Structure 1
Amino acid sequence: MKRAEPIWVLGTMSGTSLDGVDAALLKTDGERIVEFGRHGYRSYLEPERAAIRAALGRWPGEEGVARAAAAVELAHTVVMSRLAGAADLAGFHGQTLAHEPEGRGTHQAGDGSVLADALGLPVAWDFRTADVRLGGQGAPLAPFFHFACARWIGADAPLAFLNLGGVGNLTWLDPRLPSPDLPGACLAFDTGPANAPIDDLVFRRRGLSRDEGGALAAQGQVDEDIVSRFLAHPYFFRMPPKSLDRDAFSGLSETVADLSDADAAVTLTAAAAVSAHRGARHFPAPVARILVTGGGRHNPVLMAMLQTAFDVPVDPVEAVGLNGDMLEAQAFAYLAARVRRGLPTSCPGTTGVRAAIGGGTISRPKA
């Protein structure tokens, strides 16, 4: 394929932790990373977060969904408008409310056409639906960008990216291959709950959005029996690719209900760490290192648990010059460029889809 001219793309991500919206500019041709650009963040206001929380698990047309979508669109418009003038295209993921790839499908709140009109910019969105329709899990979708990042940092051996958002996911990749959709280039899957149960716990008990710096977990003692029972969940015995909804392990929160705040927080933190370590059993080949992105890398208790569990270096992605706070927003900028070119955005190794497929649709602003 003839090499395309790189363009500036504005990507966004609002994850399952419900903290807010990341937006980042990336110069790319949809295959290689040319340059990282400016970025921004807009926290959800508490009424917006409450509207989204109330709609979790619901589908289009159900009560509260339109209100949640309006909150998502407004928050995205605010942060994207600060950067849109430098972009030729935008990538909009939306806010996941429900995800049942083997059931009702997948539902991300927010309409890309609304953003296209508001920003005066073409917007690629609805990245997951086509993958699910063709038998894929619809997640995770960042692996192709992880592959591009591995090549950007000059990696010459297999490595893994561990994303610790609301849900954890791993990408194993071999950057020696020329393209991420080739057999043996990528394997990706959700590992289990990560920040979501911890965030929910401290919100319920202390009215906080997160266990800042792992301060609460650092005061507690892990309940090993709860962690052992957690690892007996059938999900850990399924082969990848596989994916999770934010609340797929909702029963985990119930198991710590009788623990103190600190013991509950550290037990949920341990669950996130052991599920990531259990996921590494599926790697096709050993990795030289694990690079950690997402909010969980800011939790020193969780990072220490991971380093103890793995026998290779476990480092935040900043160690190789990447921005872990913006990596997923940059990923959807990268995927938007691939949608524009008609390139695959997922493949059997990343989502279990039957064949490499290009997801997403592009909405253009009304004249």
Structure 2
Amino acid sequence: MMMTAIGLMSGTSLDGVDVALIETDGKRVNSFGPSGYRAYSESERGLLRQALAEAVNLSQRDARPGVLREAERAVTIAHAEAVAAFTAQHRITRESIDIVGFHGQTVLHRPAQKMTVQIGDAAALAKAIHIPVMHDFRAADVAAGGQGAPFVPVYHRALAQSLGREGPLVVVNIGGVANITYIDGADTLIACDTGPGNALLDDFMFRTTGQPFDCEGRMAARGMIDDAWVARAMQHPFFALPPPKSLDRNDFAALELRDVSPADGAATLTAFTVAAIARIIALLPKPPQSWIVAGGGARNHTMIRMLRERVAPATVEAADALGWSADAIEAQAFGFLAARGLKGLPLSYPATTGVPMPMTGGVIARP
């Protein structure tokens, strides 16, 4: 049975809330609906940065001390506003939506301690939008010993199956953290985080230029890569670990570039992200024949060019070129995961998160 789902995603880059409509039976995608976006204001973003800083001290995943309570309220309101604006703009009635998939805002991800914390009050959101909300997708996986990330691979597989391509294919999502899904036919699904995505680069740009990110990779295109710095950074033990594996946005925060120009710093950090993505090839069963890039990194022309050079002769394409939405893909995924969750289908697998057995997940909040 086909369902109409809205997916909501607020990623590690703290830029805003992505909204997307999808029609699916939880196994394949019948059609894409429209997508939308609600940016966080500067004050909301500042609040979220504070929440990230305070979350490192959390010992219970449902505790919301101090600024975390305020940040959770802001996240919930932003998501309610995002849904209201989206449904009004596209004249979508709430009765026509079966489920909303609400990821929330990750403030802490420490799977080794069985802790993953996404803030956002699903019960309050469901009441505000008058639609059932599925949330807390990652908790069951982490509680069972999985990494709790990445969670989009089952959606990537549904998309890739519609392409009908030969040979291994990788979807690489470059958000704050970069992650890959390796797909080889219907059976082989491997996924993991590869290392930094845009987080280090965005933080560096903000610190040195006041710009939130390197638009189209223009700053990096003008700079010189510090190859010795990249080589040192690549010695981090994470890169040698086999998949599945996952990261927190700030796991590489200590790797700061000092006393470099904005252009050279941007070039070096972009090269680091690409080196980390390419490093995964040696840990996969076969070298991928094609790479499909989604997330904010898909719009960074310098990052794409560097990746092409790194993985040749494999092809590298932006998700948009295939009719996928690089911007909406994660929001669509949480709509898809909500539909799977409603049907009790697995959301994560041993080769995607390291969970001992395929796990379903998600909790429903009703209006």
Residue of structure 1 equivalent to 2:172: 162
Residue of structure 1 equivalent to 2:289: 288
Residue of structure 2 equivalent to 1:128: 138
What TM-score results when the alignment is normalised by the length of structure 2?
0.94
Residue of structure 1 equivalent to 2:261: 260
Q: How does 1:110-189 map to 2 (within 5 A)?
A: 110-174=120-184, 176-177=185-186, 184-189=187-192
Q: Which amino acid aligns with 1:208?
A: Q
Q: Which amino acid aligns with 2:69?
A: A
Deviates more, 1:270-279 or 1:211-220: 211-220
Deviation for aligned residue 1:185 = 2.0
Q: Which amino acid aligns with 2:358?
A: A
Report Cα offsets for 1:322-366 as digits up to 9, x if no partner: 11110000000000001100110001010000000001111111x
1:8 aligns with 2:4: yes
Report Cα offsets for 1:230-289 as digits up to 9, x if no partner: 11001011111000000000112x2x1211111111111110000000012222123220
1:233 aligns with 2:236: yes
CA contact (8 A) 2:146 2:356 kept: yes
Residue of structure 2 equivalent to 1:338: 340
TM-align CA RMSD: 1.2
Structure 1 regions of 5+ residues with no counterpart? 178-183
Partner of 1:216, secondary structure, is helix
Q: Which amino acid aligns with 1:67?
A: E
What is the rounded CA distance, in whole Å, between the counterparts of 1:222 and 1:150 in structure 2? 34
Q: How does 1:188-227 map to 2 (within 5 A)?
A: 188-227=191-230
What is the rounded CA distance, in whole Å, between the counterparts of 1:250 and 1:287 in structure 2? 30
Deviates more, 1:126-135 or 1:281-290: 281-290
Moved over 4 A (4+): none
1:359 aligns with 2:355: no
Partner of 1:73, secondary structure, is helix
Match of 2:320 among 309, 318, 328: 318
What is the rounded CA distance, in whole Å, between the counterparts of 1:301 and 1:88 in structure 2? 40
What is the rounded CA distance, in whole Å, between the counterparts of 1:358 and 1:152 in structure 2? 23
Q: Which amino acid aligns with 2:138?
A: R
> How many corresponding residue pairs?
352
1:308 aligns with 2:318: no
Report Cα offsets for 1:68-94 as digits up to 9, x if no partner: 111111111111122263422100000
Q: Which amino acid aligns with 1:38?
A: P
What is the rounded CA distance, in whole Å, between the counterparts of 2:325 and 2:206 in structure 1? 27
Report Cα offsets for 1:13-71 as digits up to 9, x if no partner: 11111111100000001001000001110110111100001111503333311111111
Deviation for aligned residue 1:104 = 5.0
Share of identical aligned residues, percent? 45
Q: Which amino acid aligns with 2:310?
A: A
Report Cα offsets for 1:119-149 as digits up to 9, x if no partner: 1001111000100000100000000000000
What is the rounded CA distance, in whole Å, between the counterparts of 2:364 and 2:167 in structure 1? 35
Q: How does 1:48-67 map to 2 (within 5 A)?
A: 48-57=44-53, 58=55, 59=58, 60-67=63-70
